[in-house]
């Protein structure tokens, strides 16, 4: 089993074994290409989410886009 880390996500503590931001976003049931992510105060480009490693104590702000009319 992968080691769990603790993240602060949109102000709430969450545990995950995800290695990258993209893995974590998918764990949340979202698609990485449909979110905006701030990682430790810096905007992470969607093109880099697959390679953006997570470490214990990281802070994420995640916004997902919802269509409607």
| pLDDT tens readout for residues 17-61 | 999 999 999 999 999 999 999 999 999 999 999 999 999 999 999
In terms of Cα–Cα distance, which of 13, 31, 11 is closest to 22? 31
Q: Tokens 């769990």 label which residue?
A: 4
Q: How confident is the model at residue 69 (pLDDT cuts 50, 70, 90)?
A: low
Domains and CATH numbers, the chain: 5-64 (3.10.20.30)
Sequence-ordered alpha helix ranges (H) in the chain: 21-27
Residue 37: exposure state from Cβ atoms within 10 A (0-12, 13-18, ≥19): buried
Distance of CA 36 to the CA centre of its chain: 9
Cα distance between residue 47 and residue 14, in whole Å: 24
pLDDT for 66 equals 72
* For residue 68, pLDDT beyond 90: no
pLDDT for 65 equals 78
Whole-model pTM? 0.90
């Amino acid at each position: 089993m992968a080691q769990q880390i603790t993240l602060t996500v949109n102000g709430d503590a969450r545990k995950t074994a995800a290695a990258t931001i993209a893995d974590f976003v998918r764990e949340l049931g979202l698609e990485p290409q449909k979110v905006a992510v701030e990682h430790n105060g810096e905007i992470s480009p969607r093109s880099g989410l697959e390679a953006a490693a997570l470490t214990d104590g990281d802070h994420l702000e995640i916004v997902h886009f919802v269509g409607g009319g």
